[in-house]
Every structure is written in structure tokens, then in C-alpha cells.
């Protein structure tokens, strides 16, 4: 019996390491392990080849956790064209030290983690990626699932066609249940903006926080994470960021759970993105001026006005 599955401090979690070569007990497919790709809360993902094709293989300390993920992945597979996450290729057992251990193999998505991609390619990609991400979420939600643990680390931008895909389905939860797994920085409850019930608005909240996160560097982000955390603090960042400011309305609406679907938020973002692209040259100049001087005051005032408007119609908790 592995009683201490999550000894995370002194001892690494008891995630079995894969032998360099193995084959499944039931389906008899054989895998060559190339390297470890990463570790999540439930297990480790390895890059392997099977029949000459690259696959991502996940194993975990407890088979049941792995099988639960498969259960979710399978039900999302129905929309094959939707490209929410990786395709599921194989579910099987392998023997490690004489004990059966469940694993699954999925399509290997070659690409970059979203935050790394933005760092390399620039913040003008953020809104484009957000629009794509919201489309993926919309599909997931329509299948009755909430992603739960939404964060840049769980979003991949494929190298070939720059498509956003979700990875790590450990947090995916049936609508209405309690979110299975989350990360504090993107968790609605941690920001005192609601509970952890799996709702469309839970994912949209995380998405909005993620967008803000992608615009600031790591240091600003971590150094400013004071207690207690409140969305007002995120609004300060939005107000002071040229890149985020145009998106203030959809972001605020997401913070306050005002969207009924990811599609709605996507449409709002897309409209702003289009407008910005058309008006790009002139707007940028204005944005520069805004940070200081009278122009800044004017637009800050506008911002405050939009806040008040929202506060009035939306939520009681604004000044909390």
C-alpha cells in the first residue's frame, strides 16, 4: 500500500518512473520512452514513441486518478474536430516492480507552454490566444465539463499551426460538482470572488486572471500578490497596462461572473481585438500619453466611470 502518495517536500511524490521500454498488458502496444515532459498533481508525462509515432504517456502514483482523467478525456473526444485537448490513443497497464500500473497514451502536441510562448513572441499575441482559448472552453462547457485548473502551464500553443490546446485534464470537473483541482493564483475562491463549484463562470474567471498574468512579468506578479487577494488589485494592473486597458470591460465582466458562456466573452474580446487592429497606429500613440498627465486623468476617469456603471448594475461586493 502506498500510503504517502503526496510527500511533496522531502521525498518526491511516489510516481513510478517508466522503464525505457515497455508494452501494455492488454493492448500489447510497445513504447520507447524518450524523456520526461513534466509532472502534474496526479502523475508524470513522458515523451515516447509507439510504432514510430510520438506519443505523450502519462502514469501516476494511483491508477484510479489516471483512470478518472481518461474518463474525462474520452467524453471530450466526441467532438473530434474541436481540438480541445490531445487525442486519446491508448489506455493500458504496465508492470512496474511486479505491480500493475495504469497509463494512457495521447497525441503528442509539439509546441510551447502559453506563458513561454508569449515571452518569446510578445504580448500582442495574448488577445489572439485568449480568443482561441475561449473557443476551446466553449466546446468543453457544451459537453458538460469545466476545465478547472486553467493556467498558462496547462495551455499549449502548437508549433506548426499556432493553435491553442488544453493539456492536463486532472482538474476537469462535471458542471455543478466541486472543482477537482485548481491553482490558487487562478482560483476564484482564492480571490474572494466566489466558490469552487464547477461553473462556466469559474473557468472564465481563471481565464481573465490568466490574461492579466500574461501581461505582467513574473516579478511584478509574485511581489504584488498580497493578502487578502482581491480583484480590485487586478483592476489596478489593468488600469496601468496599455495592453490590457482596452479589454477592461470583458475582463471585469469575467471577474464578476457576468458571462453565461465562453462564446459571449469570446465575441466581446474579438470585437475589441478587431477594432484595435483597424485603429492601431493612432491608438498606440494615445495610449503612450495616457500613463501621465491630463490625458491619463481623463481616461482614468472614464475607467472609474465604467467601473461604477458595472458596480451599479452588477455586484454588491465591489467595495468589499
Partner 1 sequence: MKEATLRQILVVTDGCSNSGMSPVAAAALAREQGITVNVIGVIEKSELGEKGETEIREIAEAGGGLCDIVYPQQLAQTVQMLTRKAMTRTIHQVVHKELKEILGDSGIAELEPQKRVQVAGMVDELGEKSSLNVVMLVDTSGSMKPKLSAVQQAIHDFSISLHSRSGRSRMAVCSFPGKQKYLDVRIPWTEQVEQAHHITGDLAMSGITPTGPAIVEAIALFDHGKLPQSLSERYAGTESDDHEDGSLRDHVF
Residues recognised as catalytic: 149
Residue 195 binds partner 1 (CB under 8 A): yes
CB 128 within 8 A of CB 247: no
- Provide, rounded to whole angstroms, the least separation between the CB of residue 146 and partner 1: 12
Q: Which of 48, 156, 179, 235 binds partner 1 (CB under 8 A)?
A: 179
The span from the CA of 123 to the CA of 250, in Å, is 18
CA dihedral of residues 265, 227, 315, 144 (deg, nearest 10): 40
Residue 177 interacts with partner 1 (CB under 8 A)? Answer: yes
Decide if residue 68 touches partner 1 (CB under 8 A). yes
Which string of x and - marks every residue 272-311 that binds partner 1 (by CB under 8 A)?
----------------------------------------
Question: Quick one: cell of 296?
Answer: 491619463
- Contacting residue, 4, 87, 232, 304, with partner 1 by CB under 8 A: 4
Please, what is the minimum distance in Å from the beta carbon of residue 105 to partner 1? 11
- The answer to whether 28 contacts partner 1 (rule: CB under 8 A) is no
Per CB under 8 A, contacts with partner 1 among 226-245 are 227
Q: Which is nearer to partner 1, 63 or 163 (CB)?
A: 63
Using CB under 8 A as the binding rule, whether residue 41 contacts partner 1 is answered as yes
Q: Determine if 167 is a binding residue for partner 1 (CB under 8 A).
A: no
Under the binding rule (CB under 8 A), the answer on residue 180 touching partner 1 is: yes
Binding mask 73-102 for partner 1 (x = CB under 8 A): -x----------------xxx------x-x
Number of C-beta neighbours around residue 217 at 10 A: 10
Q: Of 112, 109, 126, 114, which is closest to residue 152 (Cα–Cα)?
A: 114
Could you tell me which residues come within 8 angstroms of residue 226 by beta carbon, excluding any fewer than 6 positions away?
A: 233
> Residue 98 CB, nearest distance to partner 1 (Å)?
12
Tell me if 218 contacts partner 1 by CB under 8 A.
no
Binding site for partner 1 (CB under 8 A): 1, 3-10, 26, 41, 62-65, 67-68, 70-71, 74, 91-93, 100, 102, 174, 176-184, 189-190, 195-197, 227
Amino acid at each position: 500500500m502506498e500510503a504517502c502518495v503526496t510527500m511533496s517536500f522531502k521525498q518526491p511524490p511516489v510516481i513510478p518512473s517508466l522503464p525505457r521500454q515497455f508494452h501494455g498488458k492488454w493492448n500489447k502496444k510497445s513504447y520507447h520512452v524518450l524523456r520526461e515532459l513534466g509532472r502534474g498533481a496526479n502523475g508524470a508525462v513522458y515523451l515516447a514513441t509507439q510504432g514510430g509515432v510520438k506519443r505523450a504517456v502519462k502514469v501516476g502514483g494511483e491508477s484510479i486518478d489516471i483512470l478518472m482523467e481518461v474518463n474525462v478525456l474520452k467524453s471530450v473526444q466526441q467532438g473530434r474536430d474541436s481540438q480541445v485537448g490531445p487525442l486519446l490513443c491508448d489506455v493500458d497497464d504496465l508492470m512496474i516492480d511486479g505491480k500493475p500500473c495504469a497509463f494512457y497514451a495521447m497525441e503528442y502536441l509539439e509546441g510551447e507552454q502559453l506563458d513561454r510562448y508569449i515571452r518569446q513572441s510578445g504580448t500582442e499575441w495574448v488577445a489572439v490566444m485568449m480568443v482561441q482559448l475561449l473557443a476551446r472552453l466553449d466546446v468543453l462547457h457544451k459537453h458538460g465539463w469545466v476545465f478547472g485548473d486553467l493556467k498558462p502551464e496547462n495551455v499549449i500553443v502548437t508549433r506548426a499551426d499556432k493553435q491553442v490546446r488544453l493539456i492536463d485534464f486532472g482538474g476537469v470537473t462535471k458542471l455543478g460538482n466541486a472543482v477537482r483541482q485548481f491553482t490558487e493564483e487562478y482560483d476564484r475562491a482564492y480571490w474572494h470572488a466566489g466558490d469552487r463549484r464547477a461553473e462556466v463562470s469559474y473557468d472564465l474567471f481563471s481565464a481573465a486572471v490568466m490574461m492579466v498574468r500574461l501581461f505582467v512579468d513574473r516579478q511584478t506578479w509574485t511581489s504584488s500578490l498580497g493578502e487578502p487577494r482581491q480583484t480590485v488589485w487586478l483592476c489596478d494592473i489593468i488600469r496601468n497596462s496599455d495592453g490590457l486597458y482596452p479589454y477592461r470591460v470583458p475582463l471585469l465582466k469575467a471577474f464578476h461572473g457576468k458571462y453565461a458562456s465562453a462564446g459571449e466573452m469570446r465575441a466581446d474580446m474579438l470585437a475589441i481585438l478587431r477594432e484595435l487592429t483597424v485603429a492601431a497606429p493612432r491608438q498606440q500613440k494615445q495610449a503612450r500619453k495616457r500613463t501621465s498627465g491630463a490625458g491619463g486623468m481623463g481616461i482614468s476617469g472614464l475607467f472609474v466611470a465604467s467601473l461604477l456603471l458595472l458596480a451599479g448594475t452588477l455586484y454588491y461586493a465591489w467595495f468589499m
